[in-house]
Structure 1
Amino acid sequence: MHPLLNIATEAARAAGNHIINSLEKIDQLNIEHKGKNDYVSEVDKQAESIIIKTIRKYHSNHQILAEESGQTSNQSDVRWIIDPLDGTTNFLHQFPQFAVSIAVEVKGKIEHAAIYDPTRDEMFQATRGSGAFLNNFRIRVSEQKTLDNSLLATGFPYHDFSYIDAYLSSLKTFMTSTAGVRRAGSAALDLAYVAAGRVDGFWEFNLKPWDIAAGALIVKEAGGLATDFNGGENFLNSGNIMCANTKLYKEMAQVIGKTVPAELRR
């Protein structure tokens, strides 16, 4: 395992253990509203601090982009992209679908990724060019070739509703042409589940880099495609992402092309 992936794994597991230990005292937590339906708890901040301290133990000069503390200005070719608790609302309701997501970007490319689900003790990992793994066993995307009988994952708009009509149009088409659509509330785990073949595809609008950086690499290393809605690599900037195996991806892209206006397919 690459040394940087080792660090990401160590940090994700330490943060995940803290999150699980905090489940017993949810009613005592301090919770802040960052915006409409957008919450942060002291556990998010504590988990992020654990991750950053773990990274700094080995690399004091690396850049960090973290959901709660923002971007550091260190001069380095390496940047860590961190979501300490993806699925905070789920966590606060004790709904067991949340994860720690850590990606390592080197010279502008995501090279390593770890997503840890502490409720199931599942560690999803990838290094560019080395495949994707779940608890050290190799994983692959599903072989589902068409939307018929496919199971998709998605995320609903929850604080920015400016694109809701386009989203609902895509959702309606996918709902009526697949075996089902699931919305579990953690984009990081949705992407990990695509990589593991648990769902066949995923699409969502308006996400942040820390939501998807790690998961996108894991999907690619599991043999899938992960792109923006135009089929490009701009998803970390646009927040719009679509992923599946190479054959199902084509059908999903056709639906997005027909239901999402060009100005929203960034």
Structure 2
Amino acid sequence: MIGNSESLSDTLQLAARAAGAILREGYHAAGAIDFESKGASDFVTHYDRAAENAIIDTIRRAHPDVGFLGEETGATPARDGEITVIIDPLDGTNNFLHRVPHFSVSIAVREGDALTHGVVYQPLLDEMLWAERDQGTYRGEQRITAPPARALHEMLVATCLPYHAKGDCPTSLSQMADLMPRVAGIRAPGSAALEIAYAGIGRFDAFWSQGARLELWDIAAGIVIAREAGCTVTDLTGNPAPTEWTSLLVAHPERHDELREAIRSGEPASPTGQA
């Protein structure tokens, strides 16, 4: 571990707040935000870059030997050890650009092959969700655990949908069609880090995605938060630690297998809407 009087979790939260202040300024700025295209429906703004730089600078001052994997700045190897900070400075860029108030700062830590820390910060709400391996999940200073499982037909499920050239639309639509008759609702708000974390603390009953193309920085922090809150997190084959996350399912342990089968089975729902 890192030898420093300031804990890594504290530093990650400070970094998220620094980035969040930049994003709040951009969100409330008058007039249109200038942006440039990085590819099909994938936009980078001045605020993405400024927020990521603020995160790196804050963490590097306290923990100079860590490495970084950032959506905007790419990979910087660790000077000593195997600790890598994984950064999405603005998860929900399209929402940000369109003035939809649902986006987040997402920061995770990977030690070797294991995800150990996660921070997801919603700057407009000033809400900090964070977790550390074997230490639980917190909203600010309050420890949060997943609420009791709801029946499948009562569940509100979140997802990310593919768009333009990013992902597999037929797979995503097929899986959504499997779930639609079985659950109380499906939502795709547009910030995977938030939706995964919200599944952990019970604002959503589950999160799944396969057709959308999610990068590690989109999901890593949320995975730690959801797991430490008590959720089961795997890919859709049931693997809790795949080499590459090409699919994702986050749910209460009592509903995880049932949801996984519902997504993959394609069987019709019962007349009452219950599985």
| TM bin (shorter chain) | over 0.9
Q: TM-score, normalised by structure 2?
A: 0.89
**For residues 175 and 113 of structure 1, what CA distance do their matches in structure 2 show?**
30
1:216 paired to 2:210: no
Which residue number corresponds to residue 67 of structure 1? Answer: 71
Which residue number corresponds to residue 106 of structure 1? Answer: 111
Q: CA deviation at 1:57?
A: 0.5
Contact preservation (8 Å) 1:141, 1:244: no
**Structure 2 segments unaligned to the other structure (5+ residues):** 267-275
Aligned with 1:23 (options 12, 24, 27) = 27
**For residues 58 and 170 of structure 2, what CA distance do their matches in structure 1 show?**
42
| % identical equivalent positions | 38
Q: Mark the CA change 1:162 to 1:156 in structure 2 (over 3 Å): closer, same or farther.
A: closer
Alignment of 1:24-63 (within 5 A): 24-25=28-29, 27-63=31-67
Q: CA deviation at 1:74?
A: 3.2
Give 1:103's aligned amino acid. Answer: A
Which has more helix, going by share of residues? 1
Which residue number corresponds to residue 250 of structure 1? Answer: 257
Per-residue CA shift, 1:2-56, capped at 9, x if unaligned? Answer: 8011110000011001100112326353301111111111100000000000011
Alignment of 1:115-134 (within 5 A): 115-134=120-139
Per-residue CA shift, 1:53-98, capped at 9, x if unaligned? Answer: 0011112221100001111133431100000000000011110100
**Structure 1 segments unaligned to the other structure (5+ residues):** 260-266
Per-residue CA shift, 1:87-130, capped at 9, x if unaligned? Answer: 00001111010000000111221111111001111100101011
**For residues 155 and 12 of structure 2, what CA distance do their matches in structure 1 show?**
32
1:7 paired to 2:14: no
1:187 paired to 2:187: no
**For residues 147 and 138 of structure 2, what CA distance do their matches in structure 1 show?**
14
Give 2:102's aligned amino acid. Answer: Q
1:84 paired to 2:89: yes
Q: TM-score, normalised by structure 1?
A: 0.92
Aligned residues: 259
